[in-house]
Every structure is written in structure tokens, then in C-alpha cells.
Amino acid sequence: DSGVTQTPKHLITATGQRVTLRCSPRSGDLSVYWYQQSLDQGLQFLIQYYNGEERAKGNILERFSAQQFPDLHSELNLSSLELGDSALYFCASSAGPSRPLHFGNGTRLTVT
């Protein structure tokens, strides 16, 4: 058990809808990372937060947004969903720079 909790485990929704994925980092970890894993693109870095502030941005679409709250949990919001957004979304946390990432078990999103 990595200590990182992601909910829900599975999500099925229709095109055009909006969903929110939730992540609780390991106790004491200040950094949260979001990744998208799809078969053809591998593991794509989306965004990183550190202690509530956005720290780095990757290949995140404008339809996607995220935030980290004062209690350090994070939410990833995906809107105007398209079929191509179907993927596994992972959250990871770390204690800080140069410290390893600890991954949650992911949320599998299926857009129909």
C-alpha cells in the first residue's frame, strides 16, 4: 500500500460530460502529481502541485484543470469529455524535490 488514495476506482460517463477525480496524498507529502496513462501514449505528465501551488505543467488540455486544497488533497477536473479521454489517471505524491513518487492505484475513466 503506497498510502496514496484515489477515488473513484472506475468512472463511466458520456461524451460532453464533466467529472472530478480525487487524490489524497501520503501523510506528510506536500507534492501531488497527475498522470494520464493510455495504451498509445504511455504515461503522460499532466500537472504538479506543491503545498497548494501549481509547480509544473505538462501536456494538460485546456479542458482539464486541477487544484490542491489546504489539506493537501487534490482534484483533477475533466470537462467536455471526448472518447479519447478514456484512460487511467494516476495521482502520485512525494515528500519534496528529489524524493521518489508514490502512486495511487488510479482511476479508470471510460467515456462512451
Partner 1 sequence: GNSVTQMEGPVTLSEEAFLTINCTYTATGYPSLFWYVQYPGEGLQLLLKATKADDKGSNKGFEATYRKETTSFHLEKGSVQVSDSAVYFCALRGRDDKIIFGKGTRLHILP
Binding characters for partner 1, 22-41, by CB under 8 A (x = yes): -----------x-x-----x
Q: Does 46 bind partner 1 (CB under 8 A)?
A: no
Closest listed residue to residue 38, CA positions, set 101, 93, 111: 111
Nearer to partner 1, 14 or 97 (CB): 97
Q: Does 12 bind partner 1 (CB under 8 A)?
A: no
User: Cβ contacts of residue 50 below 8 Å, gap of 6+?
Assistant: 30, 31, 96
Residue 26 and residue 1: Cα distance in Å, rounded? 10
The count of chain residues that interact with partner 1, using the rule CB under 8 A, is: 23
* Binding interface with partner 1 (CB under 8 A): 2, 4, 33, 35, 41-43, 45, 48, 55-56, 58, 90, 92, 97-98, 100-106
